[in-house]
Structure 1
């Protein structure tokens, strides 16, 4: 039987961050990942000569004071090859294209250009948003547990409660929609859809349900620093895994964990069972494979009931998205956008594009999708002279599982056609230049990421107090901790990594 101080289930960003911090803290660690790739939903895979990112997203948190900057420094890791993006993305609305600049003054100029009727209202709104920028660094420094469970958790929260936050406390009991009403922006259709596009991709919801705290944090993250990482976001996962190994611990791929039970030797530890029947004994366990996938892992309903984790019925009733993705590749001189889709210096193409096709439909099921293109010269992602492209739209997971094979294939091709048609409207001829087009559905995500029903991105927030409903690092079982996108602080690469760091710190105490 393999014996370790800590076993980590899942090599997503949360699990790897937890493992790296634990290993650096002197613990013997074993990471068990069910798939053949690191990084989970922020991982990558190679097909037809291209290295595709699993999701259409970008690198954040590497700026001064940012979460990944701090984590890399604490682990003694050199930063990956980073390319700051002066343009966060181009947002292609039905009647206009918005260039979303990172730098404040450039963004305010763009607001005046694309939203002239309400420009000052929108600028005043963003001044309030940017007034919360200090909170990002506070969270990165203190890494609080929410909801707090111990006196130490409460103390960390109190250390964050400086005068700047106390003055803004009443805002935290509101949704973003209410704040828009305060600025007279609730009826500004194009701007509200622009905001909804940013929120659906970062925190899985729109202005009407999004807590102000989540919304302002997400909007500030975009402006703190957006980076293209050579090799994609999976480079972070590779770095964290190497940190684990260099500390003398182990990361195993294709090692799904099928059972977790209390150790029979009376030591108070835990036994994990792999699909091949191997038993692993660990004093502590990190479950980083999402709350969607926990049921059936814990041996015995009594054990599950004693943990305080949601029942399977409660978990399934809590709304969550999956994704439909397109992985594409082709000659760079043909698939890149036209010349007007370059940054203000004309030096670099805009690598990230969001498409919102209609104001009259929900921002899911191909009406909204995000598309990312590999950087010219990133030979890790594509053959010389070519580009790797990922496009992703939110989709409800359940319908994909109720279809017979023929209906499933029809639906898949309808989504492919719809997304390519949307891209062609902005970039004529885009689809005909592609050499590789590979679709991925929720069924694909379950197969390759081991996430039940292909659910990704965490839960969908529902109202201003939603943060208090989130699961914290504590599972309720002694020695068992939680991390990942279904655990505070939740969605996205940054949130998942922070949840792992938070769990590891509690374990090291």
Structure 2
């Protein structure tokens, strides 16, 4: 059997590429190893709860932004997305900082929250906005910015083409360098956002993509009814309505090649060979695209070196149910929480940074009188993938992580009291079992400076007819960024 385009993986990136291509008349087939689409954003459902595996906050849903443009091409309606109250950050000293989309209001809050460095904090955000606004505009116009021609870059930044030179000068700068005149408390405020949304750290986050993320968080975020899993389902429906195919329970082993070394299709675990006459799109991680799909023997040494220097953390999630009344009494449905950094020891999870996401009142995803909540921690994948002698040892590790995380949560949010209860947990092993991502790493590559290396971590691979999309290639982590990357791939394969 053959198709023009074969997409390996039914995550948001793969589904978005396939939906756009199918709507443009391309014969496309998506191969997903699981029994449902969604990949890392698939909801966990149990006891009438639906838990999102993320913070449930999304960018690029505003007027004229990526998702509106995507669904303007598709035969289905976009899922309902609403602007939500912005998250509240709770610093390790107990103080809270609330965001505001109004720059004037936000600057006043910065003055009140960080009197020790208020002017430096305000100036940091002013400079950040000056960079982020034209950068985000450019990405909307030309999603494949790192590989774009000089003419395309000029168009992307028009009429302020001088921004191209300015951003080129900032390309190798690290975010940490821009915070040297601010206090430790303000740095903690910034790192909280990076850690919770992208699993990145200050000292390993490129300045330019960090500007885009921090600006988006401050300007406002959206929640999707049913979560990102609903987005995945709409995209799959669109593919099928446009004549494309979505094949579930279809595990891909590797690419197939002709005698000249050209990729001709994919070999499935079932023994079937599926031909791709035009292109193959991998929605696997960059590690698995080269290590499993393309094959290490066909991966150039320079790519192996880059990949060897990249890593990503895992996540430990506590799925909980919270009483409706208790949820309504909180200042926000989303909290970014810092504990004393001294607690970040050799634990299975890092309790020093916590993300709390509670389903909105208009979409509780829970039995009556309750709301679904996900509590997120970063996890050291190496500790979860050491040799296990039996299942009991794995369960003991999960229980130890749960006790550490639950204690950290109640220490920093004592107002929850008995109004919240544990429903289930998920750890890096769980993620690996459901997604087959290397070592269960779900943090993408954060805001790594490698994202800006135009010839390495973008949508193109070393094979001319094989492309990548997802959170481990440019533009990086987050549904909005992945969707922009999918636009770039679709436009290269089948320009409008």
Q: TM-score, normalization: structure 1?
A: 0.87
Match of 2:166 in 1: 168
| SS at structure 2 position matched to 1:430 | helix
Separation (CA, whole Å) in 1 of partners of 2:415 and 2:118: 34
Match of 1:346 in 2: none
C-alpha displacement of 1:15: 0.7
| SS at structure 2 position matched to 1:129 | helix
C-alpha displacement of 1:10: 0.7
**Which one of 368, 380, 383 corresponds to residue 384 of structure 1?**
368
State whether residues 8 and 29 of structure 1, in contact with CA within 8 Å, keep that contact through their aligned partners in structure 2: yes
C-alpha displacement of 1:99: 1.6
CA distances 1:254-280 after superposition (whole Å, capped 9, x unpaired): 21111211258x996623222222221
Separation (CA, whole Å) in 1 of partners of 2:187 and 2:211: 15
Q: Residues 314, 220 of structure 1: CA spacing in aligned structure 2 closer, same or farther, 3 A cutoff?
A: closer
C-alpha displacement of 1:141: 1.5
Separation (CA, whole Å) in 2 of partners of 1:86 and 1:104: 16
Separation (CA, whole Å) in 1 of partners of 2:258 and 2:25: 23
| SS at structure 1 position matched to 2:116 | helix
Match of 1:347 in 2: none
State whether residues 58 and 233 of structure 1, in contact with CA within 8 Å, keep that contact through their aligned partners in structure 2: no
Match of 1:93 in 2: 92
Moved more, 131-140 or 291-300: 291-300
Question: Where does structure 1 lack aligned partners over 5 or more consecutive residues?
Answer: 343-349
**Which one of 355, 371, 378 corresponds to residue 370 of structure 1?**
355
Report whether the alignment pairs 1:455 with 2:432: no
Report whether the alignment pairs 1:192 with 2:187: yes
CA distances 1:294-331 after superposition (whole Å, capped 9, x unpaired): 356347654x236x7834x8635422111111111243
Match of 2:6 in 1: 7
State whether residues 263 and 271 of structure 1, in contact with CA within 8 Å, keep that contact through their aligned partners in structure 2: no
Taking the TM superposition and a 5 Å limit, the aligned residue runs for 1:85-164 are: 85-132=84-131, 133-146=133-146, 148=147, 153-161=149-157, 162-163=160-161
| SS at structure 2 position matched to 1:60 | coil
Match of 1:82 in 2: 81
CA distances 1:157-213 after superposition (whole Å, capped 9, x unpaired): 2323434514733333422222222xx21xx11110110111123343222222210
Question: Where does structure 2 lack aligned partners over 5 or more consecutive residues?
Answer: none
Match of 1:235 in 2: 230
CA distances 1:460-488 after superposition (whole Å, capped 9, x unpaired): 55558854574221112131111111111
Match of 1:355 in 2: 337
Q: Residues 467, 353 of structure 1: CA spacing in aligned structure 2 closer, same or farther, 3 A cutoff?
A: farther
| SS at structure 2 position matched to 1:4 | strand
Moved more, 425-434 or 60-69: 425-434
Separation (CA, whole Å) in 1 of partners of 2:339 and 2:411: 10
Report whether the alignment pairs 1:446 with 2:432: yes
Separation (CA, whole Å) in 2 of partners of 1:301 and 1:130: 41
Q: Residues 255, 357 of structure 1: CA spacing in aligned structure 2 closer, same or farther, 3 A cutoff?
A: same
Separation (CA, whole Å) in 2 of partners of 1:361 and 1:504: 45
Taking the TM superposition and a 5 Å limit, the aligned residue runs for 1:306-345 are: 310-311=303-304, 315-334=307-326, 336=327, 339=329, 341-342=330-331
State whether residues 141 and 156 of structure 2, in contact with CA within 8 Å, keep that contact through their aligned partners in structure 1: no
C-alpha displacement of 1:80: 2.2
CA RMSD of aligned residues (A): 2.7
Match of 2:468 in 1: 482
Q: Residues 462, 27 of structure 1: CA spacing in aligned structure 2 closer, same or farther, 3 A cutoff?
A: closer
Report whether the alignment pairs 1:292 with 2:300: no
State whether residues 260 and 270 of structure 1, in contact with CA within 8 Å, keep that contact through their aligned partners in structure 2: yes
Match of 1:207 in 2: 202
Separation (CA, whole Å) in 2 of partners of 1:260 and 1:464: 26
Separation (CA, whole Å) in 1 of partners of 2:451 and 2:484: 21
State whether residues 100 and 219 of structure 2, in contact with CA within 8 Å, keep that contact through their aligned partners in structure 1: no
Separation (CA, whole Å) in 1 of partners of 2:338 and 2:261: 56
Q: Residues 244, 309 of structure 1: CA spacing in aligned structure 2 closer, same or farther, 3 A cutoff?
A: farther
C-alpha displacement of 1:287: 0.6
C-alpha displacement of 1:419: 2.0
Separation (CA, whole Å) in 2 of partners of 1:56 and 1:475: 30
Match of 2:395 in 1: 409
| SS at structure 2 position matched to 1:439 | strand
- How many corresponding residue pairs? 485
Q: Residues 91, 253 of structure 1: CA spacing in aligned structure 2 closer, same or farther, 3 A cutoff?
A: farther
**Which one of 274, 281, 291 corresponds to residue 275 of structure 2?**
281
Q: Residues 310, 273 of structure 1: CA spacing in aligned structure 2 closer, same or farther, 3 A cutoff?
A: same
CA distances 1:218-249 after superposition (whole Å, capped 9, x unpaired): 11111343012111122221221121111011
CA distances 1:21-40 after superposition (whole Å, capped 9, x unpaired): 11111101111111233222
